[in-house]
Structure 1
Amino acid sequence: MTRRLSSSSRSHTEDSIFLKPEEDPVWLDEPTKIEKLGDRAPKKDELLDCKDRPTGCQHPHGEEMFVVSVYNVVIEIHCWVALFIISQVLGYWVFFVLEGNGPFSSIYKALQVIESYFSFILPYPPIFGTDTMMLKEMENTKHHNWVVQGTSGVGVVIGIIMIIHMLCKWRYGTGLWSSEPVSRNVSDRRQSVSRQPSFTLSEWTDAQEDLLDLDPVPQTPVFDMGTDSRTEGDASTLTVTPVGLQERRGSNVSLTLDMCTPGCTEPYGYGAQLSPRDQSAQEYLRQGTHILTPAMLHMRAMDDQSLQAEFYETPMNFVDPKEYNYPGLVRKNRYKTILPNTHSRVILKSLDEDDFLSTYINANYLKGYGDEEQAYIATQGPTVNTVGDFWRMVWQERSPIIVMITNLEEKNEKCAEYWPEDTVTHEGIEISVVSVTQEDDYSLRVFTLKCEEEERTLKHYWYTSWPDQKTPDKAPPLLELVQEVEGAREEAPPSSGPTIVHCSAGIGRTGCFIATSILCKQLRTEGVVDILRTTCQLRLDRGGMIQTCEQYQFVHHVLSLYEKQLSHTAEE
């Protein structure tokens, strides 16, 4: 039984149990021999032992000792789990390094493997994302399979030792490493006095959660793990926060953590001003640049570590939901935190311009090559509630081309089937299918749009070989689609408006396609590319464009391949 000192023998320091130098310990479970109460005479045996109390008396500290025991067990379990995770991450890191990956990318892939294992035990949204292709390649590997088997064996051994150790400790009061059990003799008066912990596990967990809420902007896909001790008013000392979980939430986990089904939450507040940090991010996006020559482009495409660092340093520029505090607006958004940036959003024409809902659509104008204004429109995949708004936008903007880069369903609904099999009418616009052409990686539908007496032609490219939040297995089909769309754009009437591009959220695959289209033009015209500058410009107009680091790397690979094609053509 653990002994407790009386409060009179404690130091005044909070959460400390250090003895005053002139005092001997006084135990609460025995009667005090002398107790001074002011100027009164000393009294003996003021405290009754439990055995002298009425029947049914319980020791006042038994429950507390049980809680302490449980606490110690929980702490040890956490230590064992940490040891298990470290051993597994280290083992898989060695495996991926041997497979030819960089040291930092190997850590990321190792964390993905560990997370995939834990997902079978604990159902939770993935943090690092799960690359199924990588897992299959790891299972089918032959050269370094011994590393994977050894790592799994070490994990099993650690798990078995942990279980045996905890059972021994709980049952006999000693673990595998102790030669003697913990003494429980009540008669032992000379137990050591140690300082109690100044925090509990729950308090430490809460403290970590508080770090996630330092940014005053609530429930956006952008948040920081780090703290900034400088005052927000000191704009001169602010810098763009690198990496952090803020930009990682623009990676594979972003949609999983922050997106929900339509209509799940109303936006918050209105009129929030940019904080100094947001202003710093805007400045970064306006000034970010990294011009790459062909040789530099090829080297950069193979440098995963540098690309990751560059991607995570680039602010996502997501919109604070406070910007859109309008009742019923939630039904217009597929995801509650993916909202159009206000300065560049597409505004639908309406008879009642004061009715915000009738003018709203989750879409933004984007600049093209050479800062061409409104060259593209990036938008979310239409929902059942927004199909009519989508066709209103197509007609209003005189768009000649729609590029769709998503399947209708990928685990859940990604986009409504907004086009007809034959003919349908939305918002007074009659949409009729003229032809359907099926290619290897995309299909082309040609529509005729009629409204009142006017008739137009619209081409709809549906690219189906791009998995959600990942990258295609091969780059040539995307280049082929980009060139096909560029050719169709040149054939469109001069009065035509922007090319509409959408996936599900309208930021990831959409951003990759638009960036590739712009950069291909830059490479042909100037002989160099500035992928960082293009990414920054896209994010200024619509937050989160090029959503994951893998997509950012893929854009570099596509441009590297395109440059080789151009060089090969020039040589011929």
Structure 2
Amino acid sequence: ILKEKIQLSLRPEKEKKQEIHLSPLPLPTSQSKTTSSMVQPEQTPKVVNVVVDPQGQCVPELKPPLCASPSPFRMKPVGLQERRGSNVSLTLDMSSLGSVEPFVTVPTPREKVAMEYLQSAGRILTRQQLRDAVACSHLLQTEFMEIPMNFVDPKEIDIPSHGTKNRYKTILPNPLSRVYLKPKNPADSLSTYINANYIRGYGGKEKAFIATQGPMINTVNDFWQMVWQEDSPVIVMITKLKEKNEKCVLYWPEKRGIYGKVEVLVNSVQECKNYTIRQLTIKQGSQSRSVKHYWYTSWPDHKTPDSAQPLLQLMLDVEEDRVESPGRGPVIVHCSAGIGRTGCFIATAIGCQQLKEEGVVDALSIVCQLRVDRGGMVQTSEQYEFVHHALSLYESRLSAEAVQ
């Protein structure tokens, strides 16, 4: 009994660190789609619209809110463990309801509220607003903390021993969009499993990308089976093999290798400034296909690059390859966990397409869409800022081209 009491008294202290408080908070937006609210506050808060003055200072400008329902989410900054996908507990802050005794449960489960937020939140930025947003990093951080992570509970994946195929035990593929491998024996559910998700692209295009973890020694054959099965023209790798710990195994040969039923041949290796390009031929039976492998190594571990230029160039090269491969499958993108740098790359690719087509961009909506497809995509507020920097850099390129 004493032991139990000690454990009980220690538990709140332990769990306190991982709480994410949800409370009514207006999005720092200038434009917004209607978001559903968990609770109606007594007073409609004002939305802060920020402008950048000539001296480069962020100046708040109070305006009436564009939507009556404020966001129900406010999250504390996350540490590395949460970033890696720990099972974060959510609690509800009912302080805005006045004195509510006793504590009552809200009518909608948190998962439903989170999903409604992910499916409806947005902030469309004009080109000028995008430049302003990049100058106000604290507002982007606040906006990022609002977005539910949407991590998967291991209980949602009903496959015995699937944990042996996950690089990080808390970063799992969302069941609704996960890639199913087609095995010889469909009864063997583990052989259908790979930690990978189909990701929608610009305009909600189905299966534009696949986001996956860095292959492990026991999942390399699965990885190449997926490349073949999905007919992917391009693989983008955004991690070193080792950064303190193993991040990914070397899953391609120097010249020729056989992985399960897929033979991989390396035809050429081209060293660019920030990434290496390998031209591959993959074969199965009498069929063969070409695949381009980009290995981007200049992204520092747990940080963001000093410049968005190399990532932007990589994204433009990959987009060119995609356009030149009509009728082929998704572009496969992976880092180590398959959510942070992978999320940045895909969010930037979608955002650049939106800027080019529409002249505006909605990075908030893009990241929300990514997280519906794979939990935790774009892992940190620094990465969220970095995406905006990359989009702003692309916008300035578009403007320069227009002038010419």
Q: Residue 209 of structure 1: CA displacement?
A: 3.1
Which residue of 241, 246, 254 maps to 2:82?
Answer: 254
Counterpart CA distance in 2 for 1:464 and 1:413 is 14
Give 5+ residue unaligned stretches, structure 2. 24-36, 41-70, 88-107
- Which of 390, 395, 398 aligns to 1:563? It is 395
Tell me whether 1:351 sits opposite 2:184 in the alignment. Answer: yes
Structure 2 distance, partners of 1:257, 1:351, is 33
1:61-76 equivalence runs, <5 A: none
- Aligned match of 1:546: 378
Select which of 193, 197, 216 maps to 1:383: 216
Take 1:287 and 1:471, find their aligned partners in 2: how far apart are those partners? 28
1:299 maps to which residue?
132
Select 2:122's aligned residue among 277, 283, 289: 289
1:438 matches 2:266: no
Contact 1:240 1:315 in 2 (8 A): no
Post-superposition offset of 1:305: 1.4
Distance 1:227 1:242 in 2: 5
Alignment match, 2:19: 224
Residue from 229, 248, 254 that aligns with 1:396: 229
Separation of aligned partners in 2, 1:474 and 1:504: 21
Give distance in 2, aligned partners of 1:407 and 1:305.
30
Deviates further, 323-332 or 497-506: 323-332
After superposition, the C-alpha distances for 1:287-306 in whole angstroms (9 at most, x for unaligned) are: 01100001000000111111
Instruction: Name the SS for the 1:460 alignment partner.
Output: strand
Equivalent AA in structure 2 for residue 207 of structure 1: P
The amino acid of 2:236's aligned partner reads V
TM-score (norm 1): 0.56
Structure 1 spans left out of the alignment, 5+ residues: 1-199, 213-222, 229-234, 260-274
State the distance in 2 between where 1:203 and 1:513 align: 43
Q: Are 1:535 and 2:367 counterparts?
A: yes
RCO higher in structure (CA 8 A, sep ≥6): 2
Matched with 1:209 is 14
The residue aligned with 1:337 is 170
What displacement does 1:491 show?
1.4
Deviation of 1:256 (Å): 6.0
SS, match of residue 240 in structure 1: coil
Which segment drifts farther, 315-324 or 200-209?
200-209
* CA distance, structure 2, for counterparts of residue 418 and residue 479 of structure 1: 25
Q: Matched residues in 2 for 1:490 and 1:290: separation?
A: 28
Aligned position for 1:520: 352
Aligned equivalent of 1:146:
none
8 Å Cα contact 1:240-1:277 kept in structure 2: no
More strand per residue: 2
What residue number does 2:311 align with?
478
Other-structure match for 1:488:
321
Q: What letter corresponds to residue 339 of structure 1 in structure 2?
A: L
The number of residues matched between the two structures is 337
Task: Work out which of the residue numbers 161, 169, 176 in structure 2 matches 1:328.
Answer: 161
- Whole-Å separation in 1 of the counterparts to 2:20 and 2:293: 42
Which structure dedicates a bigger proportion of its chain to helix? 1
Q: TM-score, normalised by structure 2?
A: 0.79
User: Which deviates more from structure 2 when the two are superposed, residues 530-539 or residues 300-309?
Assistant: 300-309
Structure 2 CA distance, aligned partners of 1:552 and 1:376?
A: 19
The CA distance in 2 between the partners of 1:207 and 1:513, in whole Å, is 38
Residue 366 of structure 1 is aligned with which of 184, 196, 199?
199
Query: Residue 328 and residue 473 in structure 1: after superposition, are their counterparts in 2 closer, same or farther (change >3 A)?
Result: same
Following the alignment from structure 2 to structure 1, what is the Cα–Cα distance between the partners of residues 385 and 22? 29
Report the equivalent of 1:505. 337
Deviations 1:409-446 (A, max 9, x none): 00000001000001011121110000000000000001
Could you tell me whether the CA contact under 8 Å between 2:339 and 2:378 is conserved in 1?
yes
Identity of aligned residues (%): 53
Q: 1:499 to 1:202 in 2, by over 3 A?
A: closer
Cα pair distance change 1:227/1:294, threshold 3 Å: closer
Structure number with larger C-alpha Rg: 1
Q: How does 1:7-406 map to 2 (within 5 A)?
A: 206-211=11-16, 223-226=18-21, 237=39, 240-244=72-76, 248-249=77-78, 252-255=80-83, 258=86, 276-406=109-239
Q: Which residue of 2 aligns with 1:426?
A: 259
Q: 1:570 is matched by which residue type in structure 2? A: A
Q: Is contact 2:197-2:210 (8 Å) kept?
A: yes
